[in-house]
Amino acid sequence: MQLSKNVKQMKFMQRRYGQANAAEEEKALMSKVDEDHWVLDLPDLDVKESKFEVEDSFVPFENLQFGRFSFKGMNPVIEKLMANEKAKVQAEESDAREKEIAVSDEEMAARYSSLIGTIGKKFTKKRNRTGTMEESDIKKMKFMKPSDDD
Amino acid sequence: MAASMTNADVVLPGDVLTDRLKEITNKKVRLGPGLRWQSKDVVACKCGVLKSREDHAFWIDNHQRRYIPAKGESIIGVVSLKAGDIFRVNIGSNLPAALPYLSFEGATKRNRPNVQIGDLVYAKLLVANRDMEPELVCIDGSGQSNGLGVLSREGFMFKCSLHLCRKILSPDCSLLRVLGKKIPLEVTVGMNGRIWLRCRSVNDTICAMNAILAAEYTPEQNLKSMVYKIFGGVAAV
């Protein structure tokens, strides 16, 4: 369901929708800036698919941090900002780690297909459980006479 | 030229680096600062060390003091003029940048932000084209400042090389963490080679500035002892 923009702007909706809309709003801001610029009225050049992507800034290449820091309570606002940033980085790292160690869909499917019996057992009552067991299992559970060497 | 390609990774302006990128087929290659793509060739346009990353990103790391605006970078500017509905801000590049007064947090047409000539602002470059006036903002897309805005007048700003700013901002550099353990301080690092400091005393400010400037050629493992030396103590190893 799509909520209207006015509803999303209300204070109590900010937490939920504020983050999601940030990128969109940035785009809108940029397009407004672009509209302010004068351009020649020419047909659009067809952009050829290029192998290279050119970027002027060092920031994405060297993973540079945001440039404001505060230590030992010099500026509590900035310290809060730093803590948020740190939490974000850590969350990203743990997400990446999880992705690495998580079980893939194929693995999951293979495992479950071999586990049908085990899971099935969960849904039978205890009394009926012997019925689902195989003959060999019943044979194995015969009474074993204790040795009388004492 | 072949010598320069094998000899570490030092490149000079005009070096053609296409051969080096040839082995990467079907993947998109990202070219960073210092590299230009001219009619099928990738050419270096700065002298420095060619760096690369596994995800096919290449850039040149060099020593430079002149700032060239790049979109999205955060910089420290000095407000030099109030002109109608924009502030002119000196950011150390070839042209002064424009900062509209509406691009501050909570600013409206009626409620102008309190910015005086000579104030320092930490702002983000929204537009940075080669032959055009750069444009700054002090808010993000959702209208929040998130650390951008006017810097307090109690601080002290000094200039350094762009390379040092990048070194300090790199996640592997422990300089600011070490300094922060020693004294209470607030630091703002602009990508345009300006650093703003605020400490409790003048003495601390001078020491912190010396430590930051000395960090440019100090290897990572010596940073801690260097900071302790400047503050007149012995590093606890």
Please check whether residues B178 and B217 belong to one and the same domain.
yes
Report yes or no on B69 lying in a domain.
no
Please check whether residues B86 and B103 belong to one and the same domain.
yes
Q: Where are the beta strands (DSSP E) in chain A?
A: 52-54, 68-71
Contacts with A58 from chain B: Cβ below 8 Å: 32-33, 59, 70, 73, 166, 191
Report yes or no on B31 lying in a domain.
yes
Whether the per-residue pLDDT at A15 is higher than 70: the answer is no
B62 in contact with chain A, both atoms CB, cutoff 8 A: no
Closest CA to B192 of B66, B94, B46, B12: B66
Model pLDDT, residue A90: 92
Tell me the C-alpha distance between A6 and B115, whole Å. Answer: 31
Contacts with B33 from chain A: Cβ below 8 Å: 55-58, 61
Whether the per-residue pLDDT at A33 is higher than 50: the answer is yes
Q: Report residues of chain B scoring pLDDT below 50.
A: 1-7, 237
- Distance from the A129 Cα atom to the nearest Cα atom in chain B, whole angstroms: 55
Contacts with B74 from chain A: Cβ below 8 Å: 66-67
| B98 and B91 Cβ atoms separated by less than 8 Å | no
Model pLDDT, residue A123: 72
Model pLDDT, residue B29: 86
The residue from B150, B171, B203 where one domain ends is: B150
B126 in contact with chain A, both atoms CB, cutoff 8 A: yes
Please list, in sequence order, all residues whose beta carbon lies within 8 angstroms of the beta carbon of residue B205, skipping any fewer than 6 positions away.
Answer: B156, B197, B198, B199
Model pLDDT, residue A135: 52
Please check whether residues B188 and B205 belong to one and the same domain.
yes
Contacts with B59 from chain A: Cβ below 8 Å: 58, 61
Model pLDDT, residue B233: 67
ipTM score for this prediction: 0.86
Mean pLDDT of A51-63: 89
Report yes or no on B167 lying in a domain.
yes
Please check whether residues B44 and B101 belong to one and the same domain.
no
The residue from B150, B185, B202 where one domain ends is: B150
Report yes or no on B67 lying in a domain.
no
Report yes or no on B237 lying in a domain.
no
Please check whether residues B214 and B168 belong to one and the same domain.
yes
| pLDDT digit string, tens, across residues A78-117 | 999 999 999 999 999 998 888 887 777 888 888 777 776 6
| pLDDT digit string, tens, across residues B141-166 | 888 899 999 999 999 999 999 999 99
Please check whether residues B193 and B145 belong to one and the same domain.
no
Report yes or no on B165 lying in a domain.
yes
Please check whether residues B36 and B103 belong to one and the same domain.
no
Q: Report the sign of the C-alpha dihedral through residues B152, A65, B11, B58, in that order.
A: negative
Model pLDDT, residue B5: 41
CATH of the domain at B142: 2.40.50.140
Contacts with A55 from chain B: Cβ below 8 Å: 30-33
Whether the per-residue pLDDT at A138 is higher than 60: the answer is no
For chains A and B, count residue pairs whose Cβ atoms are closer than 8 Å: 138
CATH of the domain at B49: 2.40.50.100
Model pLDDT, residue B8: 63
* Cβ–Cβ gap B185/A74 under 8 Å: yes
Residues linked to residue B57 through DSSP beta bridges, in sequence order:
B30, B53
Using pLDDT thresholds of 50, 70 and 90, give the confidence band for residue A23.
Answer: confident
Whether the per-residue pLDDT at A136 is higher than 60: the answer is no
Side chain identity at B147, as an amino acid letter? G
Range of the domain at B172: 156-230
Q: Which of B73, B171, B199 lies at the smallest CB-CB distance from A63?
A: B171
Q: Which of A57, A64, A71 lies at the smallest CB-CB distance from B169?
A: A64
Please list, in sequence order, all residues whose beta carbon lies within 8 angstroms of the beta carbon of residue B128, skipping any fewer than 6 positions away.
Answer: A56, B69, B70, B71, B73, B134, B135
Please check whether residues B160 and B223 belong to one and the same domain.
yes
Q: How many domains does chain B have?
A: 3
* Cβ–Cβ gap A65/B33 under 8 Å: no
CATH of the domain at B220: 3.30.1370.10
Burial pattern B147-172, b for ≥16 Cβ within 10 A else e, equals bbebbeeebeeeebbbbbbbbbbeee
Read off the tokens for B82: 């109030």
